[in-house]
Amino acid sequence: MEVGFIGLGAMGRPMAQHLQRAGHRLHLWARSPASLAPFAGSAAVVHPSPAALAAATEVAFTMVTASTDVEAVALGEDGLIHGARAGWIQVDTSTIAPATARRVAAALAARGAALLDAPVSGGERGAVAATLAIMVGGTVEALARVRPLLECLGRTIVHVGDSGAGQVAKACNQMIMVSAIEACAEAMHLANAHRLDLGRVRAALMGGSGASRMLEVMGERMVRRDFAAGVESRLHHKDFGILMDEAVRLGAPLPIAAQVWQQLNALMAAGGGRDDTASLLRVLETASGKDRA
């Protein structure tokens, strides 16, 4: 297929490369020419605008940061919508507000095109290994057409519901995941207050009912005090902003998420937005006056 890709960052780049290796011809647009460098010398076609990319493709993937970025790429001046036509599909793998996904979907539908909101979970490692979990909102028909492409990228593909449903599922995923990271940080902080060996505590917990993927990965980072970004905490902060907006709009109490949101706010205020979310441990240490740097 003729497949477009916009958003060639830490996750988007390997995702696009998987599609290319599967035999699809890539069409690319990027704000930064440097992000196109890994595709130099390949058959990938570079376009001057998202609109031009859409006009040359059957399907285009987007993997950008925020709701405003998706809206600008899709609906802005020279956006994808200006090259879209009947039957064309945008697959947005970003994590954005459900309302934005529905707004873009409606605008594309008016032209006979479609949006699948298909946020992914698994991080850079999952993108490289093509083991992402993909949560899809949109029509069954559009998903059937692009499923072979999604199968190049992920291990689990679930159609959650209509437009925006994929983003709701991703918000739920982020709520559980980051709350678990905060729980790991609090456990490590308590163990450290008792002057225990954190590595041994983590090993003990991994053998018990408290074992989890977050304790395995983030707990280890906390033990090693490796706060270099796996996923920058500012991105989880952005995700929780979406959660809290949804909670206010729907009148849905999210008490644990609200507390984690405050810890993420504290981490941002301390300048830790570019650090890994395991840095939530340092927020606790600072609050207790025992910051270990």
Q: Is 170 a catalytic residue?
A: yes
- When pLDDT is cut at 50, 70 and 90, the band that residue 148 belongs to is very high
Say which of 170, 202, 237, 282 is annotated catalytic.
170
Radius of gyration of the chain (CA): 20
What is the C-alpha separation between 162 and 165, in angstroms, rounded? 6
Q: Is the pLDDT of residue 152 over 60?
A: yes
The mean pLDDT value of the chain amounts to: 95
Q: Is the pLDDT of residue 132 over 90?
A: yes
Lowest mean pLDDT among 56-70, 148-162, 223-237: 223-237
Q: Determine how many CB atoms are found less than 10 A away from the CB of residue 160.
A: 18
Q: Is the pLDDT of residue 293 over 70?
A: no
SS3 219: helix
Q: What's the CA angle centered on 161, arms 156 and 165, to 5 degrees?
A: 85
Pairing of strands 45-46, 25-29: parallel
**Cβ distance 178 to 230 under 8 Å?**
no
Q: Does the global pTM surpass 0.85?
A: yes
Domains of the chain: 2-162 (3.40.50.720), 169-287 (1.10.1040.10)
